[in-house]
């Protein structure tokens, strides 16, 4: 089954929100970054939360037929990268997200509107 990155973002966000992910930002990076079309950046409050968010995103996308191509950082729980091909998901501990500031690094790339995917608690 083939998914474009917007469908992957939708599924990943749904799983992430159930795990308590915070401050989601998605960037359309395809024109500047030849390996993926989009980044999804999320935060968790503690290492175990970051790990749970990553696990739930990966489980959900895998259930929907999207293969994980690479994962890094799961053991530490500070910055976990999940590579699904067209979508790369970055799950940060809140402190590390501030420090690495991917949104600033990629500020020249268009932001994807997530308002249609977000649930309110």
Query: Residue-wise pLDDT tens for the chain (121 aa)?
Result: 457 899 999 999 999 999 999 999 999 999 898 899 999 999 999 999 999 999 999 999 999 999 999 999 988 899 999 999 999 999 999 999 999 999 999 999 999 999 887 765 5
pTM of the shown model: 0.93
> Phi and psi (nearest 5°) for 81?
-110, 130
CA gap 23, 25 in Å, rounded: 6
85 found inside a domain: yes
Read off the CATH number of the domain in which 40 is found. 3.30.460.10
Q: Which residues contact 70 (CB under 8 A, 6 or more apart)?
A: 81, 82, 83
Give yes or no for a contact between 29 and 37, defined as CB atoms under 8 angstroms apart.
Answer: yes
Neighbour tally for 112: CB within 10 Å: 19
Parent domain of 101? 5-112
120 found inside a domain: no
Give yes or no for a contact between 5 and 37, defined as CB atoms under 8 angstroms apart.
Answer: yes
119 found inside a domain: no
118 found inside a domain: no
60 found inside a domain: yes
The total of structural domains in the chain comes to 1
């Amino acid at each position: 089954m083939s998914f474009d990155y917007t469908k992957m973002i939708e599924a990943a966000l749904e799983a992430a929100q159930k795990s308590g992910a915070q401050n989601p930002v998605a960037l359309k990076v395809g024109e500047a970054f030849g390996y993926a079309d989009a980044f999804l950046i999320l935060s968790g409050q503690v290492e175990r939360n970051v790990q749970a968010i990553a696990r739930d995103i990966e489980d959900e996308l895998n259930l929907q037929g999207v293969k994980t191509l690479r994962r890094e950082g799961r053991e530490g729980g500070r910055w976990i990268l999940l590579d699904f091909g067209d979508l790369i998901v970055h799950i940060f501990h809140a402190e590390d997200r501030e420090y690495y500031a991917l949104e600033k690094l990629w500020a020249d790339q268009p932001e994807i509107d997530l308002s249609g995917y977000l649930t309110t608690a």
